[in-house]
């Protein structure tokens, strides 16, 4: 009988510890190579760890809810045979894990070594795992499979994934069919209605929530940012009516069929354009130097059930409007599903926080650590606005931004925000 002890690996982000969230296997279960065996929570995200071995689970060495250091043995796997398990040395799992998860005979103890990372992970890679042991997502309660509502197969699939009942969707397509925006709007409305339900007071007078995982990381990052970087903030009100008209035209364009188009897309493009004109806002501060990035890894602050995370769109400055729209949509859906990987949150250069999605007009955002600028996009609402001496209803929003005053002077901050505002007022500037 050969036995392997699998130690908690560094999943490619310099981890020191992680919490065991849930085991996907139990003692006596047969496992295959790359089968997901455990879900862990790091300081940044939930990560599924695959097994590098095929065999039978021996013992779960760590309980759910426990936080353990990298290198701690968490599970044993047994197999009949000489000294190795059924996973051959040539598999990516064995090769990537190296000596960190060792096979031992009988009761021999393995000697973990540092420096190796888990299969599917690297200092900048993504997890290559297959789902196992999870309940399938419940299909939405669509009477008669939603046959009474016209919708293309991809739209029906999206509705199913978001739990939207097609029979309740107000279709706005040219032929009376449900569109992607109709589904997303219904999903957002359903989310809002769920959020405004008022629960009964619990019998428990107090609740104590352990400060760990993402919440601990958020607290440390925000404290460090608030008290190490001297923040300065500026605000501007904007007539975004032409942006709203531009979005309407994009939605009607065949090129953008099936892609979510929203004010966030134009805001993202405006940010990239303004960065090119004011490059120091896309910097990082060190005690020895200011590093100005001539590329944009555009962070989007995302509220998830586990807390605030900031994944970013890599090399956003090189993307077309359509490519950026697709990237933003994928980023949002991945964050909503809790599948954002550590590499997706690393190396951001500047951030947008879309507080307008909650109906909020403006706010004073705190910098994402390592960055010197963050911009808040407020809600876009119809308000009275003076146009050529006449008060007219216009779509108006407020943009607020915070900067690290060690790097960004007041004039640069003001010009940057003014440039963002000018694009939202006239999106045709993006054509230059």
Neighbours of 298 (CB within 10 A): 27
Read off the DSSP letter of residue 10.
Answer: B
Give the closest residue to 52 by CA, choosing from 13, 98, 11: 98
Cβ neighbour number for residue 45 with a 10 Å cutoff: 26
How would DSSP label each residue in 143-211?
GGGGTTSB--HHHHHHHHHHT--GGG----STTSB--HHHHHHHHHHHHHHHHT--PPPPS-S------
- Length reported for the chain: 432
Cβ atoms 74, 61 nearer than 8 A? yes
DSSP state of 130: B
The DSSP code for 85 is -
Q: Are 83 and 103 in contact (CB under 8 A)?
A: yes
Q: Determine whether 405 is an active site residue.
A: yes
| Distance from C-alpha of 432 to C-alpha of 426, rounded to nearest angstrom | 12
Give the Cα-Cα-Cα angle 345, 349, 351 (nearest 5 degrees): 75
User: What's the CA gap between 380 and 397, in Å, rounded?
Assistant: 5
For residue 281, give both structure tokens.
Answer: 């806002």
The first and second tokens of residue 349, run together, are 């250069």
What does the block give as tokens for 224? Answer: 């460090």
Q: Interior CA angle at 215 toward 212 and 220, to 5°?
A: 90
Q: Nearest 10 degrees: CA dihedral of 21, 140, 161, 246?
A: -130
Candidate list 126, 231, 294, 405, residue with the active-site label: 405
Q: How far apart are CA 211 and CA 217, in angstroms?
A: 9
Q: Which residues are catalytic?
A: 405
């Amino acid at each position: 009988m050969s036995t392997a002890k699998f130690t908690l690996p560094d999943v490619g982000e310099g981890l020191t510890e992680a919490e065991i969230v849930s085991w996907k296997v139990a003692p006596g279960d047969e496992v295959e190579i790359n089968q997901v065996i455990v879900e862990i929570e790091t300081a940044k995200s939930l990560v599924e760890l695959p097994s590098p071995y095929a065999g039978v689970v021996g013992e779960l060495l760590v309980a759910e809810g426990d936080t353990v250091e990298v290198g701690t043995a968490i599970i044993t796997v047994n197999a009949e045979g000489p000294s190795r398990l059924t996973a051959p040395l040539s598999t990516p799992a064995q090769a990537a894990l190296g000596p960190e998860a060792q096979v031992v005979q009988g009761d021999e103890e393995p000697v973990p070594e540092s420096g190796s990372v888990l299969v599917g992970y690297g200092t900048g890679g993504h997890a290559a795992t297959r789902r196992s042991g999870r309940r399938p997502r419940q299909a939405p309660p669509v009477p008669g499979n939603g046959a009474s509502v016209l919708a293309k197969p991809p739209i029906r699939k999206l509705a199913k994934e978001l739990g939207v009942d097609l029979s309740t969707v107000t279709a706005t397509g040219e032929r009376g069919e449900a569109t992607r925006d109709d589904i997303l709007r219904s999903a957002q409305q359903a989310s809002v209605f769920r959020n405004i339900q008022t629960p009964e007071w619990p019998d428990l007078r107090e609740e104590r929530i352990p400060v760990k995982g993402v919440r601990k990381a958020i607290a440390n990052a925000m404290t460090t940012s608030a008290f190490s970087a001297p923040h300065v903030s500026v605000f501007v009100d904007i007539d975004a009516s032409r942006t709203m008209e531009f979005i309407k035209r994009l939605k009607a364009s065949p090129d953008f069929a099936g892609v979510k188009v929203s004010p966030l897309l134009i805001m993202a493009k405006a940010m990239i354009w303004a960065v090119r004109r004011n490059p120091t806002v896309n910097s990082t501060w060190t005690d020895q130097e200011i590093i100005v990035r001539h590329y944009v890894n555009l962070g989007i602050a995302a509220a998830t059930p586990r807390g605030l995370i900031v994944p970013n769109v890599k090399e956003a400055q090189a993307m077309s409007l359509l490519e950026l729209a697709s990237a933003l949509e994928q980023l949002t859906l991945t964050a909503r599903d809790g599948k954002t990987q550590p590499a997706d949150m690393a190396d951001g250069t500047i951030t947008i926080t879309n507080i307008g999605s909650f109906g909020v007009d403006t706010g004073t955002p705190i910098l994402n650590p390592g960055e010197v600028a963050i911009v808040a996009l407020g809600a876009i609402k119809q308000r009275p606005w003076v146009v050529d001496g006449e008060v007219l209803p216009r779509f108006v929003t407020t943009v607020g931004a915070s900067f690290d005053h060690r790097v960004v002077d007041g004039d640069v901050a003001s010009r940057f925000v003014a440039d963002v505002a000018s694009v939202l007022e006239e999106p045709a500037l993006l054509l230059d």
